[in-house]
Structures are given as C-alpha cells and as structure tokens.
Amino acid sequence: MDNSQIADVFSLLSKLMDIHGENSFKAKSYAVAAYTIEKMPAALTELPDDKVFSIKGIGDAIGKKIIEIRQTGKLNALEEYLQKTPVGILEMLNIKGLGPKKIAVIWKEMGLETIGELLYACNENRLLLFKGFGEKTQQNVKTYIEFYLRSKGSYLYAEIEPYALQLHQQLKKQFPNHQFEHTGAFARQSETIDILEWVSTAGNSELEQFFLANSFSVTEKNETGIRFKAENNVAITFYTARTENFGSIIFHTNCAGAFLNEWEKRFPAMQTYGSEEEIFKNAGIPYILPCLREKEIIIAAAMNRPLPELIRPEDVKGVIHSHSNWSDGRQSVEDMANAAIEKGFEYLVISDHSKSAFYANGLKEDRIKEQHLYIDTLNEKLYPFKIFKSIESDILNDGNLDYNSQVLGTFDLVIASVHSNLKMTEDKAMLRLLAAIQNPYTTILGHMTGRLLLSREGYPVNHKKIIDVCVDHDVVIELNAHPRRLDIDWRWIDYALEKDAIISIDPDAHNTEGYKDIRYGVLAAQKAGLTKQSNLSSYSLPEFEAFIKKRKEKKGI
C-alpha cells in the first residue's frame, strides 16, 4: 500500500468514529495522521519499523497501526467499524456536503440507512426539519444521489420516460423512411427499466453511424440487432426487422417470458406478420395490450371473455393521500386544494403525518384540532370542492395506531402506514399490519411493504393473508403511486381483485407537483388489469362521501 492508500485508511477510520459518536479527540488524531501521511515525501513502505515512530505527528498508537497495515494490508480497528456500519452509510461519505456529523444525524436521528431512503427523505423535505440541513444542502444531496443512481444503469420508469420519448422522436425525425416502435420492459410499463428497446427497420450500419456521432458506444452487434450505451449509462437495444415481419418481432420482444411461453404452447404454428393486431386476429382472441403481457393467465382470460377496460389517469377523480406544510409537505392545504381544483379533481384528502413521525413534524392532538378548523373554513370557501380530514397514522411496533379512539374518530378517514423499525421478520411485520388492519378506524392500508424501488427491499409479508384480512375488515389497499414506491406491487393486485378488494391509487403528494405521480400509479395498476370501478380514488365526490359514511356506520364509529 502506498502513502495515499494508508492515509485513506486513517481518514475513513476517523470519519466512521465520528459517525458512531466515538471519542472526538481520538477521531481527530486519525484525521491528522491521514493528512501527515498523505503529505510525506518518503514512502512509508520503505521505512524500517523503528523509523515510523520518529515521524513528526505519528505517536506510538498510530505508529503501531501503520505497521499493522504494512504487514497485513488492513487495519482491524477499521474492520470492526466497517462490520457495524451499513453499506449505505459508507456510500453517503461520497456525497458532497455530507460530513460525518451530518451522516450521523441522518442515520441515528432520521433512521435512514441507504442513499435511496435519503433521496426519498429529500423528496419529502425531511432534511429541512433537522438542525444543520438547509434547502441548499438538501438539493445538493438530492442531485448527487440521482446522479449516483443513474450511474448504476437501472432507472425508475418515471425517470427514464422523458428520455425514451425524446429519443423516439429524434429517431423518427432522423430516419423518416424507417419504422421505430418501443418494445420490451418500457412498452410493458415496468416499474424499473434496465434497457430501452426498439424494433426498427433501420439497419445496424445506419444506426451505428448516427449513435457514434452522438457519443454513444457500441456494446454488442449481430444479425438480429445492435446495442449501444450512452454517456449517461443508459443501455439501448434495437432489434432489426423488415416491414413484413415487423409485427412478429415486436410481439416476441414485447412479451414477458411466462406470457410468451404460454402463447407458444397454445399457438405453436406462428406465421410472419406485419403487425401485432394481425397476430391476435389470427389467434381468434382480442388484442392484449403490452402492459398485460406478463402473466400467462391473461391469455386464457382473453379467450374466455372480453377483457375489461383498464383504468386511465383521467378516471381518477380525487387526490387521496397528500401532505401539507402542517407536517413535511411544502405547500399549504389551500395551495394543495387550489392545484387539485385546477387539475379537475373533485376532492382532496389531506393526510399529514401523525405524532410518532416526529422527523416529519407529525401532528400532535392540539394541532389536529387547529387543522380541522382550518379545513372547515376552506371547505366553505372552496365549495363544491371538498377537503377531507385524514391522517397518515403510524403503525406502532405492537400494531396499534398512534392516537386513541377519540382522536381517530375525528377524522373522515385514516391511512395506516409503517414508517419506523422496518427491519422485521415476516412474523413481526404481519403482527403489526394485521393488528392495524383490524383497527376499526383504519380505512386504508398505506404502502404495504415499505419498499423503495432500486434502493430498499420491502419488509417480508404474506400478501394473500393481508389482502384477505383487508377484505374481511373493509380496509382499502393503497397502491402508493410515488414512482419509487408503487406499493402494493401490481403482481398481487389481480388476487386482490379476485377477492373483491378495493384498491386506491394515491400520489402520497408532498407538493402540488406530486399529483402527476397518479399517472405512474395508473400505469402500474393497468398491468394488473385494474378498472376504475375497483379504484377508490376514481369515485366521484358523492360516491366517496357515501363510501365513508357507509363504512363508519358499519363499524359503529
């Protein structure tokens, strides 16, 4: 190891000690040692052991550690800290503007352990609630994390969509005599995208010339197509087709494996087609949209009966699950309501965080009363638009909600969600969730697994059991539409629909811009075959009011 590498060891040790709240004097001594070693003109590896201790600024303890590093290539003291520090915390050390002290607050006080969780907290303006974190710091952290996640080559659908659509238009303009059509995961509206795929009648040589001129590199090329990588690490694939077989190539690349295998079993003698519509017509079944071509069961369903009309973004009539500046939102309730009115929504459900979410400025009982009076005033002013009084109540470790029945009874509806102690076994997670679902005041179960796509796995749950109990207790299941959540996973919605569960596509909006996320929730819901009839936020205002009234009467609350 050269001087620079040895200095890095001491520098990292110093930072980790600060993060863990260890002796600050000792941590600083390691930082000073790192600086000293970095600036040394002579190579430490060439010094005899006894000469190490004579270096100015290097005492006995640090000298012994230098010798340990030289002999073993590592430092046990550092290894011990590495073992008890989450990987995500180590990644945060690379974020400009985040020193050990700030990272300690993020970890120990905010309870965040990955950069994905930190990004989500930035989007919810959580950092601004803690001392030492200003708006500029929060924006810098957000910008860095987004860049870092992009460098990994996987993207949220919402992140990659503008790029994909812009490039599509550019291709059509550049190659006006050729066909281009999206295919693969993007065409199927997958939550995350690793590769953008097109079927095209343009040849490899034409595409290569264009993309090389635009700073792309070729990563693979054969007779079936060509793959490029952009400077921003986006992978792009083109499948070569002719006009007469364009539909066949689109079909095969537009279907997930399970769907395609089942199709080929049922229709083994596939011909060559110019369009996908011809393929379905020849098979004698209605056209199945690409977003539905995931599970094999959809084929039998389409053969037996017409597929229902899928929910569309314009079918959503109300904004359910939104936050204001009463907790961790950026705008007032009135601003949120006016924006909803401008977008044509009929009602708004304000569900600020509850008192256990201290990190999000959650509402204590006295502030709830104040907010309700404020909402009453706004409802008089904004009639016939209506703001509903709600709360996103934390599900505590024992499954209870964090208000008593008297307080919960003051809300029109309650969204129950887990926000803390997310590292759970399935047994623990199920205990908390099932207890909350059985609480008569729980109207909607919020983001069922707590997952953050591309950054945090959800806690393990038995989806079928949760769905069954939600149906039994008249609890609506949220499809949290934030592109980083999309939770409940669409793969379980078809089971929920079989059981007559009600889904609610909710934006979890922390500002008015968040309303646009409803669309991404709808795209995910379409993959499961959701119709507007089974979506709570598609209810008109009178229907929504009737739903709440009927449920309260049934529960006796």
pLDDT in tens, 117-159: 899 888 888 888 888 888 888 888 888 888 777 767 789 999 9
In the predicted structure, residue 351 carries a pLDDT above the cut 80: yes
Q: What is residue 215's predicted lDDT score, i.e. its pLDDT?
A: 93
* Mean local confidence (pLDDT), 227-231: 91
For residues 390 and 362, the answer to whether their CB atoms sit within 8 Å is no
* DSSP-derived secondary structure letter, 475: -
pLDDT at site 124: 83
* 361-373 pLDDT per residue, tens: 899 999 999 999 9
In this prediction, residue 546 carries a pLDDT of 98
Q: Which residue has the tokens 């000073």?
A: 32
Does residue 479 or residue 41 have the better pLDDT?
479
Question: How many Cα atoms within 13 Å fall on the side-chain side of residue 506?
Answer: 29
- Calculate mean pLDDT across residues 413-438: 96
Point out which residues pair with 509 in neighbouring strands: 322
Sort residue 21 into left (φ over 0), alpha (ψ -120 to 50) or beta: left
Q: What share of the chain is helix, strand, coil (3-state, %, to 5)?
A: 50, 15, 35
Instruction: For 149-189, write each residue's pLDDT tens digit.
Output: 776 778 999 999 999 999 999 999 999 999 999 999 999 99
In terms of DSSP H, where are the helices of 284-397?
Answer: 297-304, 333-342, 365-382
Task: State whether residue 503 is helix, strand or coil.
Answer: strand
- φ, ψ (nearest 5 deg) of residue 167: -65, -35
Mean pLDDT, rounded, for 34-52: 81
Dist. CA 254–CA 199, nearest whole Å = 10
Higher-pLDDT residue of 53, 350? 350
- In the chain, the percentage of residues whose pLDDT exceeds 90 is 75
* pLDDT attached to residue 151: 67
What does the pLDDT read at residue 17?
95
Average pLDDT, integer, range 318-337: 96
**CA separation for the pair 368, 149 (Å, rounded):** 38
